[in-house]
A and B are shown apart, each in its own frame.
Chain A
Amino acid sequence: MLTLIVLTFALAFITLLMKRFVHSKYVGLITLVPFTLFITFLSYIPKVREGTNVFFKNEWIPSLGISLDLKIDGLSLLFSLLITGIGTLIYLYASSYMRGHVYLHRFFCYLGLFMGAMLGLVLSDNLISLFIFWELTSITSFFLIGFNNENEESRKSALWALSITGLGGFFLLSFGVMMGSITGTYSIQELLGQSEILKNHSAYILLISFLFAAAFTKSAQFPFHFWLPGAMKAPTPVSAYLHSATMVKAGIYLLARFTPVLGGEYEWNTTLQIAGGVTMLYGALHSVFRKDMKSILAYSTVSALGMLVFLLGVGTEKALYAASAFIVVHALYKASLFLITGVVDHSTHTRNINELGGIRHKMPWIAVAGLISALSCAGIPLTFGFIGKELIYEATLHYPLHTIAMILTVTAVVTNVFLTCSGFLVGLKPFFGKLTVRCAEIEKPEAVLWLPPLILAFFSVLFGVLPILADDGFVTALAHAINGKKIDQHLQIWHGVNRALILSGMTIGFGILLYFLFKKFRNPMRLTERFNAISPQNIFTLFVDKFRVFAFIYTRFFQNGYLRVYLMVIVIFVIGLVGYKLFEDVPLHVNTTGLSEFRVYELVVFLIMVVAILFTIRTSSRLTAIAATGVIGYCICLIFVFYGAPDLAMTQFAIDTLTVVLFVFVLFKLPAFLNLSNRAIQFRDAVISIAFGVLISLITLQALVSPADKEISRFYAENAYELAKGKNVVNVILVDFRGFDTLIETIVLSIAAIGVFSLLKYRASDEEISE
């Protein structure tokens, strides 16, 4: 299974190289990638239906408890099926929709990477790898949302999406690390058994806060919802994919995944009910005020996500079962509606429903798909949406506390009324009524454009008429996985005349009324615009702007660009911190008796150094100063030689030479030497330097008396020849024992070289341009 995910990533990168293939007429073949995956996942249905979970063990960093273990249970299987199934249709659709785009190969690369990341996310059984895939979805979706990168709005909304979901990712990591430190395992499967410990732990509230922060940002819950409507700047296939079945459902997945581990407590349920409830009302209300088909869908998606969070919050068996069904219901009709929007936009070049009407004469199949999806969204009998809605009302009506049950039900009904209306606005309004001027001249879309939404609509009806297929196939297994134990519920097409049915009827009735009301409304946006000032997006924008101002001031203060100031700050800081620690904690005990006598040549070297130092400070020529520091460096080399460190001496010697050369290169370009420092500054510098020198000397002397652990150096000395066949211990350490460090260091060096090169080269070429 891991191989499949890795292969998905690899294929995505290969697509990048196959520019010619992607631009040829055979590009549709790329659909085989998600389709093969889809078939693979389908083959797991029989096993999972019986309630067995399939595990794939993959070691990664066993010493840290991090693995790439994958688990297929009802929850991950259903999400995988949605990701790959809808993915297949999106690939097919995009191969026509995006045809001729210059960067089509990049598009399919991003799409493939995103699909791989999503699969990894839902299949991971390890908190850390879950986090990694979670972040990968954020990053890849950034590229997808900002795909039209020459458009400023598009770039901006991609950045918003990345910032908000990235923020959530940070909380997910904190959550994972906390879970790991409390329970001692990162395996989600093992966490299931520690549910009681976690729920009674003092950090429970903190844990679920982190989890909620991650899930709410990803799944666009109020007040983090605004990145989702913004992300509509993406090409339509991307919106369809990200917002129906994948990206935004990741938060729902996360909550569902941890419901059996952390769910069921009062704080858990109440928070989710309130957050979900507010979001679903807010999104539904906003959706009917829009005229842009994609905006309507975006807000109704926000609302549907709210509904799912809300149902997970209600948390009863019925509610979890309803949530399971609704995930599928929503994915089917929402993806279909998005794809329809794409076709309409493609042929009429507008998404404004005021200008659209009567398109059914031009594209009958699209109209059929739109109609069915709108009906499923409204919950008309014989569509899957009807069954989903019944279940939701059943769940809210049977909430144990009566008063709360009433509130929950009313919230759900009101939301659904608005959702019905917005579904009609997108799925019916453009297709029925009189053919508008705008739509008179359009051509029939290709089959690959109308087939995918129609297939999705077909499933909406199929599951609506034969719910047993969905129930037996995956919904029961899904609910089982979310609940943690078996749920004895079944999807039924007819529950008899009960309260839920009456509510359904009311929903549809009011929904249709609202539809006729808003259909006529030319510009309802005016009504919402006056609230823009207090919209979460504005508040966030304000916060970000202020943060930037703060960052600017902060940077100006600490990073003022004077090397001497940096150096001084570092040295003073070291003196303060190390000095404090030294005098506070270590009994100062300088023992001079063990030191060896000054030998003549040492004394000579020492005197040369003193003279060189005096030259360095007193000279008024830069060249002399540099040469003098070079002399100091060479003297240190000699001392290394005296005390038996030839390797060190050689390196220091070479480095010193090169440093002097480097200075000389720069020196001639500098203006003439000017002595800008006055007495006070000189005095200050002297104090700092002397303090630093004294401190280092004290530490060195102190180190002599402290018993050092010779274990490590003895190991190296004894094993250098036996293990690494080298007699020069220093070199053996560098290239063998600690070769990895050396490797990283060479990489650091390379980065430094690239840094210098790009800084100077680009500046030079900029100047050439400006000339």
Chain B
Amino acid sequence: MKRYRSKKEQDQTILRTATNYLLPVLLLFSVFVLLRGHYLSGGGFVGGLIASIAFVLHSFAYSTKQTLSLFQFSPMALIPAGLALSILSGLLPVLLGLPFMTGVWFADSVAVIGSVGTALFFDIGVYLVVIGVVLTILFTIAENV
């Protein structure tokens, strides 16, 4: 049994080493996709999916438990956080006296990110929800089936 495990570890050396580099790159890429969404192809949904794939890759190389230990909290917590962010970004215009979910923008654009507005925060909310949902579903199934 012990030999088998060590062999398995040996088998995964390449994958593990690659994952160690790929995970941050993929996460960065997912944020890039999320941010560029407003002008070019991309967006919160795809970004979230890519980020999830990054974590799934990590769980393949190591184990679900180890991937979960990357998080300070359960990925499920991302769901309410994301939903709250989306809803708050929709509520912000209400405070300014505009209808729910009107797009509101800062006058000046920020370096790298570009112009910042409620739509961006909404998209970040979607991004977080998607990561939360995909990881919750996948890891729950992986652990319990």
Contacts and interface: CB of A to CB of B under 8 A. Distances in A.
A641 B127 CA distance: 23
A345 interface: no
B122 to A, nearest CB: 5
Nearest to B38: A726
B137 A650 contact: no
A661 B56 contact: yes
A764 B144 contact: yes
B119 interface: yes
B19 interface: no
B145 A750 contact: no
A643 to B, nearest CB: 14
Interface in A647-687: 647, 650-651, 654-655, 657-658, 661-662, 665-666, 669
A138 to B, nearest CB: 29
A725 interface: yes
Contact of A647 (B42, B52, B53, B103): B42
Q: Name, among A650, A666, A723, the residue most crowded by chain B CB atoms within 10 Å (CB to CB).
A: A650
Interface residues of A, number: 42
Contacts of A647: 41-43, 46
A654 B137 contact: no
The prevalent SS among residues of A at the interface is: helix
A736 interface: yes
A735 interface: yes
A423 B99 CA distance: 58
A555 interface: no
Interface stretch (B5-13, B65-73, B81-89): B81-89
Interface in A729-756: 730-732, 734-736, 739-740, 742-743, 746-747, 749-750, 752-754, 756
Contacts of B33: 650
A555 B131 CA distance: 35
B61 interface: no
A442 interface: no
B15 interface: no
Nearest to A755: B137
A655 B103 CA distance: 29
A443 to B, nearest CB: 52
Nearest to B52: A658
B41 A646 contact: yes
Interface string B54-98: 001000100000000000000010011011001100100000000
Contact of B103 (A658, A666, A723): A723
Q: Name, among B43, B115, B125, the residue most crowded by chain A CB atoms within 10 Å (CB to CB).
A: B43
Contacts of A522: none
A384 B143 CA distance: 71
A731 B129 contact: no
A448 B45 CA distance: 60
B101 interface: yes
B141 interface: yes
A735 B43 contact: yes
Contact of B117 (A658, A725, A740): A725
Given A750-B129, A764-B144, A658 B41 contact: no
Nearest to A654: B49
A732 B38 contact: yes
Contacts of A725: 38, 103, 105, 115, 117, 119
Given A651-B45, A655-B49, A757 B136 contact: yes
Contact of B101 (A654, A661, A726, A739): A739
A756 B137 contact: yes
Contacts of B122: 735, 739, 742-743
Given A665-B145, A724-B119, A743-B90, A752 B137 contact: yes
Contacts of B115: 725
A761 B49 contact: no
Interface string B119-145: 100110110011011101110111111
B140 A756 contact: yes
Interface of B: 33, 37-46, 49-50, 52-53, 56, 60, 76, 79-80, 82-83, 86-87, 90, 100-101, 103, 105, 115, 117, 119, 122-123, 125-126, 129-130, 132-134, 136-138, 140-145
Interface of A: 646-647, 650-651, 654-655, 657-658, 661-662, 665-666, 669, 723-728, 730-732, 734-736, 739-740, 742-743, 746-747, 749-750, 752-754, 756-757, 760-761, 763-764
Given A740-B101, A750-B79, 5 more contacts: A727-B38, A743-B86, A743-B90, A746-B86, A756-B140
